[in-house]
Copies of this chain bind each other. A is one copy, B any other.
Amino acid sequence: MRALAAAVSRAAAASLAVTGLAFAQAPGTPPPPYADLLAQSPAADWRALDPESTLYFDLPAGRVVIELAPNWAPAAVTAVRKLVREGYFDAAVVLRAQDNYVVQWARPEDDPKAKAMQAVKLAPEFFRKMAGAPAFTRLSDPDTYAPEVGFSEGFPMARDPARGEAWLAHCYGAVGVGRDTGLDTGNGAELYVVIGQSPRNLDRNVTLIGRVVQGIELLSVMPRGPAPMGFYAKKEQWVAFRGVKVAADMPAGTRTNLEALRTDSATFKAVIASRAHRREAWFAEPGGRIGVCNVPLPVREARR
C-alpha cells in the first residue's frame, strides 16, 4: 500500500472533501492542483441550487440529490416535479441495476397508478434549439459522438451547429426518463441514472432531466440484478424510497443546502485546464486533453 497511503497524501487529500465531487484522482497521486482552485475560488463563481429544481430521493442508505435542468427539458421537469409532489415516487422502487449502465426506478407494474400512467404521453425533449440556450462553455478537444461538447448551467452537453441543436449528454450521474418504443411514452414515471461508462449512443434518443449532484454512490453500489437488463428477479430485492421531495417543499432546516461551481466561471475554466493538463508530479505525461464526461462538476455544501 506504500504507493497509496503515505500520510502526506492522506492529509493533503483530506482538503478535497468536496461534496459529491467525482474527480479522477490518479492511483497513488497527491491531490491535484485544482483542489486549490476550488479553495481559492471567489464566492461569486458558485451558485446555490434552486430548491424548486432540486429533488431529494431518500433511500434507506441516505439521500440522493438531483438537480433538474428546466431549460433543457422543461415539460419533463415539470412532469417529474408534479409527480414528486403528488407522492407518486413514494411508492416507487429501484427495480433495475445493470452493471456499467443504469439504475432505474418506477412503481411496480401492477400498481394502479403505474397502470394509469401508461396512458400519459409527453412530447420528447431529446434536444433543444441552440438559439436562446443558456451560456455554453466549450471544450476544445474532439468528441466521438458530437461536433461540439461542453457545459451549460452545470450540465455536460453536446451540440451541433449545423442542426442548430443542443442536448444534455449521457455522462455518469445523468438522470433520464425511461420510455418505451414510442417517442412520447417517456412521461417521467420511470427514471434512470447512469452509473457506468457514458452511454452516449442514448443522446438525442431519450429525455434527460438533470443529474445526480450528491449521493450517486448510494445508487452505484446497488447489487446488480440477475435478470436480463439488470432487473431484480424477486420483489424482495427491490429498494423502496423513504421519501421523495422537492427541496422547496422541505422546511429550510431540513434541506441539503448545496452550491455548484458555475460552469461559465473563470474557476471552472481553470478546472478544465487543470484536469486536461496534469501537472502533478505523479504524471509521466500531462496529457493535454479532456473529455466531456471526465470533467468534474464541483458541488459542495453551501457556505453560510
Chain A: residues with CB nearer than 8 A to chain B?
A: 1-6, 9-10, 13-14, 16-17, 22, 24-29, 31, 95-96, 98-102, 104, 106-109, 114, 117-118, 124, 126, 141-145, 171-173, 176, 178-181, 183, 185-186, 190, 192, 196-202, 204-206, 216-217, 220-224, 227-229, 231, 275-276, 278, 281-285, 287, 289-291, 293-294
Contact = CB atoms under 8 A, between A and B. Distances in A.
B227 A10 contact: yes
B197 A171 contact: yes
A28 B196 contact: no
Contacts of A10: 227-228, 231
Contact of A4 (B190, B216, B224, B285): B190
Contacts of A25: 98, 101, 229
Contacts of A107: 1
A109 to B, nearest CB: 4
Nearest to A92: B1
A155 to B, nearest CB: 15
Q: Which of A99, A200, A276 has the most CB of B within 10 A?
A: A99
Contacts of A229: 4, 9, 13, 25
Contact of A224 (B190, B217, B285): B217
A202 B3 contact: no
A83 B200 CA distance: 39
Nearest to A223: B221
Nearest 7 A/B pairs, CB to CB: A13-B228, A1-B109, A3-B180, A99-B217, A144-B291, A142-B142, A217-B224
Given A28-B178, A172-B100, A221-B224, A118 B287 contact: no
A244 to B, nearest CB: 17
17 contacts: A1-B95, A2-B117, A2-B118, A2-B185, A3-B179, A24-B202, A99-B217, A145-B289, A196-B220, A197-B197, A197-B198, A198-B294, A201-B290, A205-B285, A217-B224, A220-B221, A221-B224
